[in-house]
Chains A and B, each alone.
Chain A
Amino acid sequence: MNKGTPLVEMRDISIAFGGIKAVDHVSVDLHPGEVVGLLGHNGAGKSTLIKCLSGAYHADSGQILINGQAVSINSPRDARAQNIETIYQTLALADNLTAAQNLFLGRELVSSRGFLDESTMEAETRKIMGRLNPNFRKFNVPVSALSGGQRQSVAIARAVYFNAKILIMDEPTAALGPQETQMVSELIQELKAQGLGIFLIEHDIHNVMKLCDRASVMKNGQLVGTVDVNQVTDEDILSMIILGKKPAKAA
């Protein structure tokens, strides 16, 4: 699996906030068709690391390579231009806007005269939601009126619609019931089969074992290590998270 040029390579990334090293010389990589889990306690630096890739933060030092090319990602727009899509833990939805308005936020479809093409955006939203969440009907209400699972599916639709090559999912199932969690799992498998690379921040160790190919564990802003999920037990990963020690037998 780890052959060829990685889709994403984050090399030696560091970022500090007011003297606190949130991410301290961390390197991770991601290949096409691969799911890499990012694990660690709250405050371990997973979300911060990933925000350097999604453009929300700018790393103090380090390099990001996409398909072997060094790129500079200074804003969410830059990240989107590299086909990097992010599903944030908070979902990052504007509650007062509808599903379609959120889905196209920042990338609205406009008519030849420069006006918003609401109808086409709504029609496109109906299409993608029909695929992801066929029971979704609430196209005309602000997303504040949606359930947690429905909101999640809007956030996922936004990431999937624009043909992402690199997908970042920050605890995508944290707020979901069993059925919706299952739906997200199936979606991850499907996207993976399509050749996307996915960074998955996840707390549930069973989901990690089930969905991820590799797992990178962080503790106190540093990388404990990256392991092939097939070659370790969930106990091994848990001890990496808790003790910050890499199991001897893993590569």
Chain B
Amino acid sequence: MTTAPRPAHASHDLKGSPFARFVAATEIDTRLMGMAGALLLIWFGFHFYGVVFNGEGFFLTPRNLWNLSVQMCSIGVMATGMVLVIVTRNIDLSVGSLLGFIGMVMGLLQVEWLPPSMGLGHPAIWIITVAVGLSLGALIGTLNGVLIAYLAIPSFIVTLGGLMAWRGAAFLMANGRTISPVDTNFQLLGGGPYGSIGSTGSWIIGIIACAAVLYGLLAGRKNRQKHDFPQRPIWAEVFMGALGCALILGAVLVVDSYYWPKGIVKAYAEANNIIVPPEGLFISLGFAYPVLILVTVALLMTVLMTRTRFGRYVFAIGGNPEAAALSGINVRWMTVKIYALMGMLAGLSAVISSARLTSATNALGQTDELYVIAAAVIGGTSLAGGVGTIYGAVLGALVMESLRTGMVLIGFDTAVQNIVVGLVLIVAVYLDIIYRKRTK
């Protein structure tokens, strides 16, 4: 199912090969399966490359997977917004520079502007900073949207201008200085040992998520019953439920088996008068805050895109802007809202990246726009408009980040990384074109 809005039900032809029957019964998006397959290939590929050539595989370790989950968040958050922009046949090249500019403003705010009056480490500083960051992002996004929708300047040009202008503005804000360190509460939003919810919290979230998956399947069955639509076979429902829960609990297990580094445990133990036993103290990190932010954003954006009028109009504009206008949709105002949302998400990513780095630098978010667009496109968002999914974009971000960290782990230098990522983007889009032709 390449169109994002999912029809209320699909047919269950009991014909064709076992695989075709399986796909029809479970209603799994075959494209999603392809992406999951590619991701596993990348993960195992990097791991075994390490095993064979370096004597040890580092990729499939709790430590690396945990890091991967944190590193993909900034790109992932922005990619969910980029889906809306690209689906409506626009582009936003300015998100990376926007992230840098907002990061710099937030850095100055919490390091130089607020502390003199509020006192260093005041608990409200991080809240004010995040609020300012998100609002500033939305404001600049609105400006982009107005230029594109009401002055009819092509989005490519508006945001190409923004790419240069906001990077320059970020430099001017602090004359190229690095602003550091950011507020300690703010730092937690970037992850790290203290910026994670620990073992218990992770299990609670995992169990709630499993319950939500099962509830969703049940509610779906009830709804189909109400309207006399054909049901999925029971075995398919059970399979989907089991798969969903296995993935969630698997993720919990992975983050649960990555422990605080020894140095931090020691500092923590000393600060809290805990005696470290001789075999060592193992404190699980659990899910990092940025990961929870990404998951929340992805869920909210999915609801927005598939369950609300706003999302329906985004797809309608992408499919046929003229038809959307003739249906009474205010296409221009929609465009402004979409860019405002994109800007706000860039602000959120600025929070995550600068918190993770514990500083605001002039180069923060440089070339991020390319990774964000690549993530959305690898995730199945069509540059021709009208087609794209949020989960695809998040998976795309995971693929991009897996490639990047994988190559770092096996010791490829940046030049090679860039070549590989570039080639993968082209190949992925080509495979997507073939896929779409075959499934038409």
Binding site for B on A (CB under 8 A): 54, 56, 75-77, 80, 86, 88, 90-98, 100-101, 105-108, 110, 114-116, 118-123, 139-142, 145
Contacts and interface: CB of A to CB of B under 8 A. Distances in A.
Interface residues of B, number: 34
Given A93-B320, A101-B312, A76 B7 contact: no
Q: Which 8 A-B pairs have the closest CB atoms?
A: A94-B319, A106-B327, A96-B319, A96-B386, A77-B328, A92-B323, A140-B7, A106-B328
Most buried by B among A110, A123, A140: A140
B61 interface: no
30 contacts: A54-B326, A56-B326, A76-B325, A76-B327, A76-B328, A77-B328, A91-B323, A92-B323, A93-B320, A94-B316, A94-B386, A95-B320, A96-B319, A96-B386, A101-B312, A105-B324, A105-B327, A106-B327, A107-B327, A107-B328, A108-B309, A110-B309, A116-B307, A116-B308, A119-B224, A139-B7, A140-B7, A140-B11, A141-B7, A142-B319
B9 interface: yes
B328 A80 contact: yes
Given A92-B320, A94-B323, A108-B309, A123 B10 contact: no
B326 A140 contact: no
Contacts of A86: 326
Contact of B327 (A90, A92, A100): A92
Contact of B5 (A76, A88, A90, A98): A98
A122 B324 contact: no
- Select the residue from A77, A80, A86, A101 with max chain B CB neighbours within 10 A: A101
B11 A88 contact: no
Contacts of A142: 3, 319
Contacts of A97: 3, 5, 312, 315-316, 319
Given A90-B322, A92-B327, A115 B227 contact: no
Given A76-B326, A94-B324, A100-B8, 13 more contacts: A92-B320, A92-B322, A92-B323, A93-B320, A94-B386, A97-B5, A98-B5, A105-B324, A105-B327, A106-B329, A122-B9, A139-B7, A142-B319
Candidate in A90, A105, A108, A119 with the most chain B CB atoms within 10 angstroms: A105
B437 interface: no
Contact of B308 (A105, A107, A114): A114
Interface of B: 3, 5, 7-11, 223-224, 226-227, 229, 303, 306-309, 312, 315-316, 318-320, 322-329, 386-387, 440
B338 to A, nearest CB: 16
Given A77-B328, A105-B327, A145-B440, A119 B308 contact: no
A119 B227 contact: yes
Contacts of A123: 227
B440 to A, nearest CB: 7
B10 A140 contact: yes
A112 B165 CA distance: 45
A86 B327 CA distance: 10
Contacts of A107: 327-328
A94 B326 CA distance: 11
Given A108-B312, A110-B309, A122 B326 contact: no
A81 B183 CA distance: 54
A119 B223 contact: yes
B20 to A, nearest CB: 16
B318 A120 contact: no
Given A119-B223, A140-B11, A145-B440, A95 B386 contact: yes
